[in-house]
Structure 1
């Protein structure tokens, strides 16, 4: 259930049994010339709506954190960049307060690759408090599922464009969709990486996207996310 929709008294009662929360995290960032700046916010938002419908009685859903680490693409207009160490500390403090309010399992539903280092650092610190923290990077963790629907993936590419078309096709300017087939050969940090690899703030083939693919992605991946959440709740962290 959406945390902000309940009263303080109701929260105090329900948190006795509901110990897991989803914290959606995105970014405000350029995604090619055809997608809105809020692309990385919208996908976690759709997933949260689906989680609310399907399992809203066993998980809390926190308000989304809209800003993220977007150094690579900060050269493009409209991108808002928060340094990793600042984002990590902020997310940790949010998680710490949730933990102090009685929530044990904190699941970061991440919509943006640049946030990963910060979320990992925050999770390490939360673990030390006694919380259980997990980051779900939906486009990576369920990549095999997504690639049964799309030919490829990318920043503002086929998968993300299809996702936003499903969310609100009026926000997408498909006549500006293009292709950028450049792919990094390693996780190398170098000057102008964003300009070189993510030419036009894009990677992949956005021209192949359509709304139906987006619908299929959200349907399939939301089921996978629910499977992961159930494993977290049952503390199925490993196999023998």
Structure 2
């Protein structure tokens, strides 16, 4: 149920169907020379479309939040960076208003790693209101599953490039796909980290990506995400 497609009256009438809402979160950020700036928006968007097809009457889907924390990649043209503390407050305000509209369970469907700290901060505050909040980071939470399909992962790497090829291959310039295997030894921050670590605004091996791999990723992960959504909706999120 796409929230913005309903009138106010119809929203109120259909609230009895579900008190669970998905908020897709992305970023506008450089993804190599071959992927669009909206890569982290498009993946959650497609997951939501597939979720709507499968369980549309069981969950609300709110409009996506397109901007995110992109400090590392802000050295590359086209990246829009929102500091974590600003993003956290904004996301909290959105979640609080959803809660006040009787949507008691919130799932952040996140497409961008830089957003994680902000989403954790917002989730803590929303939980204090009485809301149940879960963040799904699709490339991270299902890394094991993705690696049954791809040889590796990375920012604008094989997995993300495959995902966008499946989303809309017209947006991908595979002739510009590159490789970058640099990885930090520790969780360390330093000057020019983004330019050094994410050379050419990417990591991994984008040249191995295919549309077929992207299709497999979306179909497999959608099944996993749907299961999680239904469990959260039914209050099943603690192991016995």
Please report the TM-score for the alignment, with normalisation by the length of structure 1: 0.99
Alignment partner, residue 185 of structure 2: 185
Q: How do residues 136-215 of structure 1 correspond to structure 2 at under 5 angstroms?
A: 136-215=136-215
Shift of 1:58: 0.3
Other structure's SS at 1:73 match: helix
- Cα deviations across residues 14-61 of structure 1 (Å, max 9, x unaligned)? 113310000000000000000000000000000000000000000000
How many Å separate the matches in 2 of 1:179 and 1:143?
Answer: 19
Unaligned runs of 5+ in 1: none
Alignment partner, residue 13 of structure 2: 13
How many Å separate the matches in 1 of 2:146 and 2:8?
Answer: 39
Alignment partner, residue 28 of structure 2: 28
Runs of 4+ in 1 over 2 A off after TM superposition: none
Check conservation: 1:165, 1:214, Cα contact below 8 A: yes
How many Å separate the matches in 1 of 2:30 and 2:213?
Answer: 22
Check conservation: 2:17, 2:57, Cα contact below 8 A: no
Alignment partner, residue 91 of structure 1: 91
Other structure's SS at 1:170 match: helix
Other structure's SS at 2:117 match: helix
Shift of 1:238: 1.6
How many Å separate the matches in 1 of 2:193 and 2:16?
Answer: 47
Check conservation: 1:24, 1:64, Cα contact below 8 A: yes
Q: How do residues 7-156 of structure 1 correspond to structure 2 at under 5 angstroms?
A: 7-156=7-156
Please report the TM-score for the alignment, with normalisation by the length of structure 2: 0.99
How many Å separate the matches in 1 of 2:106 and 2:184?
Answer: 31
How many Å separate the matches in 2 of 1:130 and 1:86?
Answer: 22
Shift of 1:239: 1.3
Unaligned runs of 5+ in 2: none
How many Å separate the matches in 1 of 2:232 and 2:157?
Answer: 31
Matched length: 240
Higher deviation after alignment, 55-64 or 189-198: 189-198
